[in-house]
Amino acid sequence: MEIKYNLQGYLVYITLAAYALAFLATIARQKNFGRVLYVAGFFVAVAAFGYRWQHVKHIPLQNMFEVFLCLGMILPPISLFCRLILHVGAEGADMLIGFIILFPAGFIFHSEPQNLPPALQSWLFAPHVAVYMLSYVLMAKAAAQAVGQLVKSSGPSNPELVGYEGATYRMICFGFPFLTLGLISGSYWGKYAWGDFWGWDPKELWSLVSWLVYLGYYHFRYMFGKKHAWMNSAIALLGLLAIIITLLWVNLSKLFPGLHSYAS
Amino acid sequence: MGNSKSKMYILRRASLWVTLGMIILLLVLSVTVSFKGADKASKLFNSEPLVVFWVFLTGLLALGIFFFPRLLRKPGLLSIHLGGIVILIGAMISSQKGHMLQKELLGRDKLYKGYLYLSEWPKEMEDSHLWNETLNEQVGRLPFTLRLEDYWMDYYWPEGHLLIQKYPVQPMPDLDDPNRTVLKLLSKEPEQTWLIPDRIGEEIELPAPLKKLKILQVIRKLQIRDRVTDRPRDTMNPALFVELEWADGFRDRRFVFPLNMPHRFQTNGFMFIYMFVKPQRWDVKDYYSDISVIDLKNRRQHRQTIEVNHPLHYGGYHFYQNRGDETEVPATAGEQRRMKPVGFTVLKVVSDSGVPVVFLGYWLLCVGVFWQCWLQHIIRYFGKRNQNGN
């Protein structure tokens, strides 16, 4: 547990408080007030990210603190886009996800700035990590919808929103191109930095596992999706589990030594 | 007719089941081997049973296109499956076994991978031998030679400041030369202090008799022999090169050094110090190898500086900056007392066979996924809106 007594830390804590209060307001049926807090939290998160960028003098996507800060920041606009364009709801769940994501950035991960190692000084660094961040948030939203399908089959109360199973599919369809782009840009970058498209590094293997789970989701849904709709949702949850392992366990555990250790 | 339709149905179902099985097998293998490290994973996925697996997977993807005419009608799905096939073929061509097969079938004798050791010393030394990663076993020779012209490392440089302090002074006659005056410090405490960051172009206004100071150059490793240089190789010797303007318009250019250096620049009661704190740990920013490639046939030369993320592509091979360092050798032949630093580098050399094929597969896969997941829905949405007259 590490409390950050600096401006960077205070900005993260304000965002955390805003997301938590937004979630509480939403479940207390004060949706509009919840949204105001959520949007306010987003702007503070943008300020935290901008401050970090200015402080470390490169796009802050290098270590776990920066990655989780970015994940927490991009969640509100994604929620808004999904609700307005894709008709996928569960804003309350998004607020809770935002709080859960930002919590380790505020209290667990160290925030000392680090210099970029030579391998990360590439034009591919920002897009590669950014597309993965987008896909992870979208797949987390898909998993939240999948949980809805598994525990409450009646669907969302708002008739404008898509049912849980359909919403899971929409979220995965939205996130899968980003996941693919992340995998391919990583492989392309690996070829230019280290000489190999694929180094069989644990991080690479687990990102392949995540991609394969969603590939399996599409094939399974095509084959048996209507008959065993709950299974589609179970695979979506498995996908998120693979993502969590890729993002957290592979970087933090000493079980997986590899080329991506700078992200620890 | 009905019989052939049901047979096709069974084949489709079977191929989908096998596809799911292959995905699950690949998943299980990836998860299992991820605990054992990259080397063991690489060995497993390049082993003979897995070669069969990859060939089978490629065939299955091709069969999928044949069994499911829907794939031909859906450009996104077709592109995804074709992308998968092309990537796997490209990976096979670029693999070690692919190179061996190309040698046997096509007589194409191209090295798969190796490491090239190059040193700046002895001067003009060229080499074409490739070694294994630990450099203790030779794996082949390139059809051309390479020479290391220069090797250096760049470090993250800590931020410094230029400190200017004005001390109260009084003009006193010089006792040795009564025609001159010297400025005597009246106090050890400065009466005014200025601090500016060590960035080129930074300026500051100063009180009379001075007027203005501008930083012209931030030098990390200053060397003054026959000319002033900023050699990254040599030991740290930071300095600022500044231009000082007096109130009467006179301009002078001087070096400003850190406090621990013997040369201190002071004039008219102003003292200039380069505030530079040496970091406890130097983080490497990049490694550079300035390489000349010499074609043995026509002695034509190609010169390029290789750094991480910027490999050299020449003669069917990619050359990557792998590792390097400095060592010391006698400054002159036979003399052991005076040593000079020389750089050496190790380049990873990888054949470029199959690389364009893999890139083509990546494009097909990406275009297919974006088409299938996004574009077809967007086009359909706007098509419907236009039909409804919105």
Does one domain contain both B332 and B345?
yes
Give CA–CA dist A134/B231, Å, rounded.
43
Say if residue A238 is in the same domain as residue A168. Answer: yes
Residue in chain B closest to A117 (alpha carbons) equals B285
Residues of B in contact with A184 (CB under 8 A): 362, 365-366
The Cα A15–Cα A39 span in angstroms is 10
Which of the listed ranges A39-48, A194-203, A219-228, B203-212 does the model predict with the highest average pLDDT? A39-48
DSSP B334: T
Please report the pLDDT score of residue B122 as a whole number. Answer: 81
SS3 (DSSP) at B297: coil
A64 close to A264: Cβ distance less than 8 angstroms: yes
Same domain, A101 and A143: no
Residue A131 and residue A235 share a domain: yes
Whether residues B30 and A256 touch (CB distance < 8 A) is answered with: no
**Same domain? A185 vs A222:** yes
pLDDT exceeding 70 applies to what percent of chain A? 94
Least confident of A13-27, A50-64, B326-340: B326-340
Q: State whether residue B308 is helix, strand or coil.
A: coil
Q: Any chain B CB within 8 A of the CB of A257?
A: yes
d(CA B371, CA B154): 44
Give the model's confidence band at A260: pLDDT under 50 very low, under 70 low, under 90 confident, else very high.
Answer: low
Domain identity same for B247 and B318: no
Burial of B302 (0-12, 13-18, 19+ CB in 10 A): middle
Higher-scoring residue by pLDDT: B176, B365 = B365
Chain A: nearest CA to B106, how far in angstroms?
24
Residue-range definition of the domain harbouring residue B322: 111-155+283-351
Report the pLDDT value the prediction gives residue B301, as an integer from 0 to 100. Answer: 83
Q: Nearest chain B Cα to A223, which residue?
A: B16
How far apart CA B18 and CA B143 sit, in angstroms, is 45
pLDDT in tens, B123-136: 778 899 999 999 99
Range with the largest mean pLDDT of A226-240, A244-258, B11-25: A226-240
Q: Distances in Å between the alpha carbon of B23 and those of A71, A230, B26, B146?
A: 29, 20, 5, 44
Q: Are residues A84 and A51 both part of a single domain? A: yes
- Express each pLDDT in A105-163 by its tens digit: 999 999 888 889 999 999 999 999 999 999 999 999 999 999 988 887 666 667 777 88
Does one domain contain both B265 and B312? no
Same domain? B289 vs B189: no
- Percentage of chain B beyond pLDDT 70 is 89
| Pairwise CA distance, residues A110 & A117, whole Å | 18
Report the CATH number that the domain containing residue B123 is assigned in CATH.
2.60.98
For residues A111 and A124, membership in a common domain is answered with no
Cis before B122? omega within 30: yes
Judge if B93 and B137 occupy the same domain: no
Fill in the DSSP letter of residue B282.
P
More confident site: A257 or B198: B198
What is the nearest CA distance from A231 to chain B, expressed in angstroms? 14
Question: Are A115 and B156 inside 8 Å of each other by CB?
Answer: yes
Residue where a domain stops, chosen among B243, B275, B307: B275
- In angstroms, the CA B124 to CA B347 distance is 18
A165 and A56 in a common domain? no
Interface confidence, given as ipTM, is: 0.91
Both A60 and A142 in one domain: the answer is no
Domain end point (choices A115, A132, A151): A115
Instruction: Give yes or no for residue A263 having a pLDDT over 60.
Output: no
Question: Rounded to the nearest 5°, which phi and psi values hold at B343?
Answer: -95, 150
- Helix B75-94 to helix B48-67 angle (10° resolution) is 160
Residue with tokens 């008709």: A87
Q: pLDDT by residue (tens digit) across B303-341?
A: 999 999 999 999 999 999 998 887 777 767 666 666 777
Identify whether residues A137 and A198 lie together within a single domain: yes
Tens digit of pLDDT for each residue in B119-167?
988 877 889 999 999 999 999 999 999 999 988 888 888 888 998 988 8
Domain count, chain A: 2
Residues 6+ apart with CB under 8 A from A253: none
Q: Are residues A106 and A224 in the same domain?
A: no
Say if residues A198 and A118 touch (Cβ distance below 8 Å): no
B49, burial (CB in 10 Å: exposed 0-12, middle 13-18, buried 19+): exposed
Instruction: List the domain range (segments joined by +) for residue A110.
Output: 1-115
The domain boundary residue, chosen from A81, A115, A149: A115
Q: How far apart are CA B324 and CA B341, in angstroms?
A: 13
Domain match, A183 and A91 both: no
Which of A128, A197, A253 is most worth mutating to test chain B (most B CB atoms within 10 A of its CB)? A197
**Residue finishing a domain among B275, B293, B309:** B275
Q: Looking at the structure, tell me whether residues B40 and B6 fall in a common domain.
A: yes
Are B349 and B313 contacting, i.e. CB atoms less than 8 angstroms apart?
no
Among A158-172, B223-237, B284-298, B359-373, which range has the highest average pLDDT? B359-373
Q: Is-contact B308 A119, C-beta < 8 A?
A: yes
Integer-rounded Cα Rg, in Å, for chain A is: 19
pLDDT at A41 over 70: yes
Which pair of structure tokens corresponds to residue A224?
A: 């048996």
3-state secondary structure of A37: helix
- Separation of first and last alpha carbons in chain A: 16
Give A209→chain B minimum CA distance, Å: 6
Predicted model pTM: 0.85
**Contact call for residues B329 and B310 (beta carbons, < 8 A):** no
How much is the mean pLDDT over chain B?
86
Residue B228: predicted pLDDT: 54
Q: Is A181 on the interface with B (CB under 8 A)?
A: yes
Domain count for chain B, please give it.
Answer: 3
Whether residue B25 sits in one domain with residue B70: yes
In this structure, the answer to whether residues B127 and B99 fall within a common structural domain is no
Q: Looking at residues B183-193, what average pLDDT do you find? A: 75
Domain endpoint, select from A72, A92, A115? A115
Query: Do residue A230 and residue A243 come from a single domain?
Result: yes
Based on the fold, state whether residues B132 and B100 are members of the same structural domain. no
Q: Does B378 touch chain A (CB under 8 A)?
A: no
pLDDT reported for residue A153: 61
Among B19, B30, B38, whose Cβ lies nearest the Cβ of A219?
B19
If asked whether residues B304 and B224 sit together in one domain, one would say no
What distance in Å separates the CA atoms of residue B244 and residue B266, rounded to the nearest whole number? Answer: 11
Do B146 and B287 belong to one domain? yes
CB B350 within 8 A of CB B95: no
Cα–Cα dist B307/B323, whole Å: 10
By the CB < 8 Å criterion, does A206 face chain B? yes
* pLDDT score at B111: 93
Q: Are residues B176 and B261 in the same domain?
A: yes
B284/A118 touch (CB, cutoff 8 Å), yes or no: yes
